[in-house]
Amino acid sequence: MFLSEPKTLSTPRGTFALREGGNPEGAPVVMIHGWPESSYCWEHTGRYLKAGLRVIAPDLRGLGDSERTEGVQYYEKQALAKDVVSILDELGITQFQLVGHDWGGSVAQEVALAIPGRVQKMVLMNIAVINNLKGNMEVIAKVRSGSGKAYWYQHFQQVPKLAEAMIPGNEAAWIGSFVSGVVGEIPADAVAEYVRMYSIAGTPGAGANYYRTFGEDAKRWATLSGHRWAMPSLYVYGNKDKVIIPEYLNHIEDCFDDVQVEQVDAGHFLHEEKPEEVAGHLNQFLDS
C-alpha cells in the first residue's frame, strides 16, 4: 500500500478522514479526490510518484470516511475548500502543492482562491477551470446542441430525495455504471472501496449534494472571469472523457499566468486508468 489507512481528524469545521503517503518529511502535496471517489483514488498513482513528496489526501465531506452532514449548503465548493483549509491548519501545513480531480479540482481552485499565498503549484485534472467563463459557456452551447445523455447522473441526483431512495442496496450497480467502459481499467480494489463508501448511511444524499449545489457554485464562478491564477499550474486531461469534453480546454491560457496542458489517452478517471502516465506528468511538474 502507498497510502495509509484513513485516520480521523477533528477541526472546528467537523470530523474528517485523510490518508497519507510518501516521505513524511517531504514536500507536502495535497491531493483532492472527486466524485464518486474517496482519497483512495490516489493509491495507484501514488505508487509511481517520485521520492521526496509527502502526500496528504483528505476525504471530502460526505464521501470516503468523513462525516455525512445534513444541509446542502455544506457541499458548495467554497465550503468544501474551507474544510480542506481547516484540515491543513490542524496538521500545521502552511506551504503546499495542490492536486485536484473532478469536483476535487473545483475544491482545489477554491482553496487557491482562499489562500493563494500558501499554494506553491496547482494541478487540475478533468474539471472546468472555474474562472474560464468564455470556455465554459462554449461547453454549455455544445452540450445543448446534442442529446446531453452523458449528463444523466447529474440530473438524477439533483431531483430531491431520488438518490436517497434508489441507491441504497444498489451500490455496486451505481458505482459500476461509472467505472465500466472506461479507456483503462479502474483497479478492482478501488471500485470495492467506492462501493463500500456508498454503502455508508447518508452517502447517497451527501454525494448528490455535490450536484444540488451546482447552481450556487455557478453563480459564484460567473463573477471570477477576470481572475488569473498566479501560481504555476498544470492541467492533465484524459482526452476520452465524455463529460469533461475538449471545449473545456478552450481559452484556459487566458486564466493562468503560467499553465501547461498535457493529454493522456484515458477517460474521466485518468489517474486510475493510467496511473503511471499521470504520475509521470506530476513528477515532472511537482517540486520534491
pLDDT per residue over 48-104, tens digit each? Answer: 999 999 999 999 999 999 999 999 999 999 999 999 999 999 999 999 999 999 999
Q: Give the chain's count of helices (H) and strands (E).
A: 12, 8
Note the pLDDT tens digit of each residue in 170-214. Answer: 999 999 999 887 777 899 999 999 999 999 999 999 999 999 999
Cα Rg of the chain (Å, integer): 17
Percent of the chain with pLDDT strictly greater than 70 = 100
> So what's the pLDDT on residue 131?
98
CA distance 105 to 31: 9
| pLDDT for 147 beyond 90 | no
> So what's the pLDDT on residue 184?
78
Contact 197, 63 (CB under 8 A): yes
Residue 173 grid cell: 450497480
> So what's the pLDDT on residue 148?
86
* Average pLDDT of the residues of the chain: 97
Domains of the chain: 7-285 (3.40.50.1820)
> So what's the pLDDT on residue 179?
87
What sign does the dihedral 44-49-51-53 (CA atoms) show? negative
